Amino acid sequence: MQSAQQTILRDAMRLLNLTRDALTERLGVSRRALDSWLLPDNSNEHRSMPTIVERFLAEILSQDTKVAPAHHVSTANWAPHLLSVEQFSRESVEELFRIADIMQPVARRQKTCRVLEGAVLANLFFEASTRTRISFGAAFCRLGGSVCDTTGFTFSSMAKGESIYDTSRVVSGYADVIVVRHPEQGAVAEFAEASNIPIINGGDGPGEHPTQALLDLYTMEREFSRLNKLIDGSHIALVGDLKHGRAAHSLAKLLGLYQGLKITLLAPTGLEMPASILDAASRNGNVIECTDNLASGLAGADVIYATRVQKERMQGEVMEGYGENFQINLRAVDTFCKPDVIVMHPLPRDSRPGANDLSTDLNQDPRLAIFRQTDNGVPVRMAIFAKLLGVDQQIQHSLRDISWVHPQKLGPNDASFDEL
Q: How far apart are CB 125 and ligand ASP at their closest, in Å?
A: 10
Q: How far apart are CB 374 and ligand ASP at their closest, in Å?
A: 10
Q: Does 203 bind ligand ASP (CB under 6 A)?
A: yes
Annotated binding-site residues for carbamoyl phosphate read 131-132, 181, 209, 212, 347-348
Q: Does 346 bind ligand ASP (CB under 6 A)?
A: yes
Largest Cα–Cα separation, the chain: 67
Radius of gyration of the chain (CA): 21
The only residue of 14, 133, 229, 308 in contact with ligand ASP, by rule CB under 6 A: 308
Q: Which of 392, 332, 388 is nearest to 99 (CA)?
A: 392
40/203 with CB nearer ligand ASP: 203
Angle at 123 between CA 120 and CA 124, to 5 degrees: 135
Q: How far apart are CB 246 and ligand ASP at their closest, in Å?
A: 5
Q: Which of 166, 114, 11 is nearest to 400 (CA)?
A: 114
139/399 with CB nearer ligand ASP: 139
43/150 with CB nearer ligand ASP: 150
Q: Which of residues 134-173 bind ligand ASP (CB under 6 A)?
A: none
Number of residues that bind ligand ASP (CB under 6 A): 7
57/247 with CB nearer ligand ASP: 247
37/326 with CB nearer ligand ASP: 326
105/240 with CB nearer ligand ASP: 240
Q: Which residues pair with 304 in a beta bridge?
A: 237, 343
Cα–Cα dist 63/229, whole Å: 23
Cα separation values, 321 from 237, 310, 324, 327, 401, Å: 18, 15, 9, 11, 53
The only residue of 180, 237, 247, 261 in contact with ligand ASP, by rule CB under 6 A: 247
Cα separation values, 389 from 119, 197, 200, Å: 10, 10, 12
Q: Which of residues 374-413 bind ligand ASP (CB under 6 A)?
A: none
Q: In what order do the strands lie in the sheet with 146-151?
A: 146-151, 120-125, 177-182, 199-204
3-class DSSP assignment, residue 343: strand
Cα separation values, 363 from 108, 220, 303, 360, Å: 21, 18, 16, 5
18/248 with CB nearer ligand ASP: 248
Q: How far apart are CB 346 and ligand ASP at their closest, in Å?
A: 4
What angle, 0 to 180 degrees and rounded to 10, lies between the N-to-C axes of helices 131-142 and 90-107? Answer: 70
The only residue of 209, 222, 243, 387 in contact with ligand ASP, by rule CB under 6 A: 209
What is the x/- site pattern for ligand ASP, positions 48-67, by CB under 6 A?
--------------------
3-class DSSP assignment, residue 250: helix
What is the x/- site pattern for ligand ASP, positions 3-42, by CB under 6 A?
----------------------------------------
Q: Which residues pair with 253 in a beta bridge?
A: none
Q: How far apart are CB 66 and ligand ASP at their closest, in Å?
A: 37
The only residue of 246, 249, 253, 387 in contact with ligand ASP, by rule CB under 6 A: 246
- Chain residues binding ligand ASP by CB under 6 A are 203, 209, 212, 246-247, 308, 346
